[in-house]
Structure 1
Amino acid sequence: MSVEQVPEDVNGLRWLKSSYSGSGGGDCVEVAAGVDAIYVRDSKTVGSGPVLRVGRGEWTAFVALTAK
């Protein structure tokens, strides 16, 4: 599996909050789909926290595994 922290600007992506994130301000994960990767970040640290880039194949496998 290939996951890396993204050094480039990803503000042009359309970020979506995970449906599993609570509305109480706790676990807030956001994802965005790029051309060849999926990006993941913590919505509480937008602009200052890390953004992870995951290959589309790896993301598909992760979602399939967690959906069981």
Structure 2
Amino acid sequence: MISPDLFGADFRKSSFSGGNNDCVEVATNLPGLVAVRDSKDPSGPALTFTPEVWRDFLAGVRDGDF
């Protein structure tokens, strides 16, 4: 069951994920919230972040911090 906070979330896979189904999906269409889930378990739990924290995380990935 999807959390009520995630109702209407439009999850998408990264264009870098390839075809192996071992990837995460991200929803950025919710006001004030970014949700991330495992593509193999779409009805399972999702992690949520503020847009600012998500942008900082992505910047760290691009900069090679992780």
Q: TM-score, normalised by structure 2?
A: 0.77
Give the gaps of 5 or more residues in structure 2: none
| Aligned twin of 1:43 | 39
Q: Sequence identity, in percent?
A: 39
**Cα-to-partner distance string for 1:20-53 (whole Å, 9 max, x where unaligned):** 323122x221000111010000111011x11111
Cα offset for 1:8?
A: 2.6
| Aligned twin of 2:20 | 24
Give the gaps of 5 or more residues in structure 1: 1-5
| Aligned twin of 1:59 | 54
| Aligned twin of 1:3 | none
RMSD over aligned Cα atoms: 1.8
Measure, in 2, the Cα distance between the counterparts of 1:44 and 1:11: 19
The one-letter code sitting in structure 2 at the alignment partner of 1:31 is: V
Number of residue pairs matched by the alignment: 61
